[in-house]
Amino acid sequence: MISVARIAAVAHKEFLQLARDRVTFGLIIGVPLLLITLFGYAINFDVRHLRAAVLDEARSSASREFIAELEASQVLDVTQHVKSSREIDAMMRDSTVVFAVAIPADFERRLIDGQIGGNRPAAQILVDGSQPSLENVANALKQLPVFQRHGQLLLAPQRFEVRVMYNPERRTAVQIVPALVGMILHMTMVLFTAGAIVRERERGNLELLITTPVSPAELMAGKLMPYVLIGLIQTTVIITVGNALFDVPINGRLIDLYLAALIYIAATLTLGLVISTIAQTQFQAFQMAFITMLPSVLLSGFMFPFDGMPRAAQWIAQALPLTHFNVMVRGIVLRGAALTELSPQIWKLTLFFAIALGAARLRFRKRLD
């Protein structure tokens, strides 16, 4: 027979146990407050201030006014003025810009022709189709009456031509599958290593390891090595299945992709190792690992355009390894970028790896002492 008193006694014990567990108790209150504040400000479907390059071959007062009106819309921030389409290709390939506006030399003639029935586009918008939602932004921009002179509309919405780069068929799978590599690796690598040191402690193996000649650095390296191989296998599976089932192209070199994955795997493994040195139990380790997943998925550009987030959220996202790996994997797989063109992301991931590994080693040595 079920006893209400016994149930109440067990519940009372569980409450006391949670109250003594300071980390878990802090997570109960801190996580909702942190996430609702962060995501309430960061997730923004009203995209603004996208990095754009302009190729102005007309160099006329009309083209300059047109560019000024585009910037006044606050949808685009013109960060680069280029002299050739080749420069646009290079900047979009390494993700320096996500939009480009090409204005032909006969810009004004095309405007006049458009008023009398001409069908040549007066300007062209190029958008990075490897990132989500940007095509919708381009189509919305196309509807703005952004160019007026003497009160007369000279550039109607149909005078724009939108060209989607790297994803001409506009397929969602092309955008999502490469980024899934980073998200799945983050989930598995952080979870695996988050419980690595805690598991040894709970099983009573840590005291035994202390008495062996194995140094803290050697122990951590030995813990991480198997997961590096697992991460490379997962990368192979995701890319192979994505290409076979969803026809996701692989435009870059595979060696560049694997090197980028290796750098990212190392960074995420050290993140899990830091968590493992902080947590007292495996339950705490899994909680902390889960906390890192939501910001990584929502702030890294996986689901929402990175440029559309507020500046403060972008700074926070810079501390997440997935933010930089998304740029790398989409750049290599979809835009055909070489690893050398993605050096800013490589340096940021390397810096993250060095800081996280140093922090984990310091904390682990304190536990040994």
Q: How many CB atoms lie within 10 A of CB 212?
A: 9
User: H/E element holding 161?
Assistant: strand 160-165
C-alpha–C-alpha distance, residues 302 and 177, integer Å? 10
126 shares its domain with 262: no
99 closest CA partner among 159, 141, 62? 141
User: Nearest Cα to 163, choosing from 85, 79, 253?
Assistant: 85
- Asked whether residue 116 falls in the same domain as residue 246, the answer is no
Residue with tokens 């310091």, as numbered in its chain: 362
| Three-class SS state of 81 | strand
Determine the pLDDT at residue 368.
44
> How far, in Å, are 126, 166, 235, 347 from residue 253 at the CA level?
24, 16, 14, 20
In a domain, 38, yes or no: no
Give the model's pLDDT for residue 208: 61
How many C-beta neighbours within 10 Å does residue 35 have? 14
Say if residue 154 is in the same domain as residue 176. Answer: no
Nearest-angstrom CA–CA distance, 121 and 124: 7
pTM of the model: 0.83
Crossing angle (nearest 10°) for helices 107-115 and 61-72 = 80
List beta partners, residue 126: 100, 163
Q: Using an 8 Å Cβ cutoff, are 142 and 160 in contact?
A: yes
Residues 6+ away with beta carbon under 8 Å from 342: 94, 95, 260, 327, 328, 331, 332
Note whether 77 and 93 are same-domain residues: yes
Structural domain of 247: 172-368
Which whole-number Å values give the CA distances from 88 to 79, 100, 127, 249, 357, in the listed order?
A: 12, 7, 11, 21, 38
In contact, 279 and 269? CB cutoff 8 Å: no
The pLDDT of residue 151: 45
CB atoms within 10 A of CB 172: 10
Contact 31, 57 (CB under 8 A): no
* φ and ψ of 79, to 5 deg: -100, -15
Same domain as 364, residue 221: yes
Under-70 pLDDT residues of the chain: 1-2, 6, 13, 17-28, 30-31, 34-35, 37-46, 114-118, 144-159, 203-214, 216, 365-369
147 residue type, one letter: F
Q: Which amino acid is it at 233? A: I
Do the domain assignments include residue 236? Answer: yes
Residue 8 in domain: no
Q: What is the pLDDT of residue 115?
A: 60
Domain boundary among 116, 147, 165: 165
| Same domain for 273 and 245 | yes
Q: Which of 165, 198, 226 is the last residue of a domain?
A: 165
In a domain, 10, yes or no: no
Going from the C-alpha of 309 to that of each of 35, 249, 293, 346, 365, the distances in angstroms are 15, 28, 18, 22, 39
**CATH code where residue 94 lies:** 3.40.1710.10
Q: Is position 5 within any domain?
A: no
Say what the pLDDT of residue 90 is. Answer: 92
Q: Alpha-carbon distance 365 to 149, whole Å?
A: 70
**Do the Cβ atoms of 271 and 292 come closer than 8 Å?**
yes
Among residues 165, 195, 220, the one where a domain terminates is 165
For residues 62 and 190, membership in a common domain is answered with: no
In a domain, 14, yes or no: no
Tokens linked to 268: 């995420």
Whether residue 159 sits in one domain with residue 176: no
Q: Are 322 and 186 in contact (CB under 8 A)?
A: yes
Calculated CA dihedral for residues 221, 224, 228, 233, nearest 10 degrees: 140
219 in the same domain as 153: no
Total structural domains within the chain? 2
**Do 239 and 190 sit in the same domain of this protein?**
yes
Predicted confidence at residue 161, as pLDDT, reads 85
Q: Is residue 154 part of a domain?
A: yes
Are 132 and 214 part of one and the same domain?
no
User: Is 19 inside a domain boundary?
Assistant: no
pLDDT of the residue at 117: 58
What span, in angstroms and rounded, lies between the C-alpha atoms of 240 and 174? 13
